[in-house]
């Protein structure tokens, strides 16, 4: 009996996962991809992932942050071959409540170039920070986050993903998800907040939550062994995920 492929859906940056960092998942087939820059809604992004998995008979979606929202949307469709759903730092509706971030989101389409790189991305990195980042096996920082987004996320893509997140409203569809679901939540998440995980936990049948202590929103990057270890534990214990 073969394990399903773990399909790692990228975060807001759009960058493919570094699969080599998921050390606790060795032995599991894994696949990732880069998100397209020109899509501004989650349905179209879910269509994109659908095309990426069309050759897979059995798979689990593993989505981080914005990628968790994409994975959630696809899971509500109950596609053939989907065996499980794992989300970290995800959301079923637009989680941004900060007035400052809302203003910045409104302005960012009109200010590319240095404004985008030196203001928008700095503010974005600031809101993704955690006091626990430095404790990770890969010590993380706001500067690393900004550099990561500078490298992988052009202005056009950032604007489109902001629009997609703003239009996210899938709370009423959560009960349509029929596969075993794991919600990984960092102890401190300044940009998403604890309510987002609670909404998904309440709405998705058979969902469970695991809070990773002393981690922040960027815990996939700062604590990859801990992060992938909890995924492996869930996959191992959830017999229904194994392909039949």
For residue 10, pLDDT over 50 is answered with yes
Q: Two tokens at 22?
A: 């998921």
Q: Please answer whether residues 90 and 196 qualify as being in contact, where contact means their C-beta atoms are separated by less than 8 angstroms.
A: yes
pLDDT value of position 102: 84
Measure the CA–CA gap between 153 and 51, rounded to whole angstroms: 22
pLDDT value of position 154: 98
* CB-CB neighbours of 187 under 10 Å: 15
> Over the stretch 165-205, which tens digit does the pLDDT of each residue have?
999 999 999 999 999 999 999 999 988 988 999 999 999 99
**Homologous superfamily in CATH for domain 5-95+161-241:** Alpha/Beta hydrolase fold, catalytic domain (3.40.50.1820)
Measure the CA–CA gap between 224 and 138, rounded to whole angstroms: 8
Least confident of 31-45, 98-112, 191-205: 98-112
For the chain, the structural domain boundaries read: 5-95+161-241
Measure the CA–CA gap between 121 and 155, rounded to whole angstroms: 10
pLDDT value of position 230: 97
Distances (CA, A) of 121 to 112, 135, 139, 212, 227: 11, 23, 20, 26, 25
**pLDDT band at 242, cuts 50/70/90?**
low
């Amino acid at each position: 009996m073969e394990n399903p492929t773990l399909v790692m859906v990228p975060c807001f940056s759009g960058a493919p996962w570094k699969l080599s960092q998921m050390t606790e998942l060795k032995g599991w087939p894994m696949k990732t991809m880069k998100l397209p820059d020109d899509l501004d809604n989650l349905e179209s992004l879910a269509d994109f992932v659908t095309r990426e998995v069309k050759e897979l008979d059995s798979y689990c979606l593993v989505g981080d942050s914005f990628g968790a929202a994409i994975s959630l949307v696809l899971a509500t469709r109950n596609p053939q071959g989907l065996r499980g759903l794992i989300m970290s730092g995800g959301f079923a509706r637009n989680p941004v409540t900060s007035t400052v971030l809302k203003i910045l989101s409104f302005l960012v389409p009109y200010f590319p170039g240095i404004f985008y790189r030196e203001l928008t991305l700095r503010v974005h990195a600031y809101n993704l920070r955690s006091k626990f980042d430095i404790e990770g096996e890969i010590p993380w920082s706001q500067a690393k986050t900004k550099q990561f987004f500078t490298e992988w996320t052009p202005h056009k893509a950032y604007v489109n993903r902001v629009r997609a997140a703003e239009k996210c409203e899938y709370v009423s569809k959560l009960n349509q998800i029929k596969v075993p679901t794991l919600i990984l939540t960092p102890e401190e998440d300044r940009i998403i907040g604890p309510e987002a995980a609670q909404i998904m936990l309440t709405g998705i049948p058979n969902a469970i939550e695991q809070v990773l202590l002393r981690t922040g929103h960027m815990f996939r990057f700062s604590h990859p062994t801990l992060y992938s270890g909890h995924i492996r534990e869930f996959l191992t214990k959830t017999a229904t995920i194994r392909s039949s």
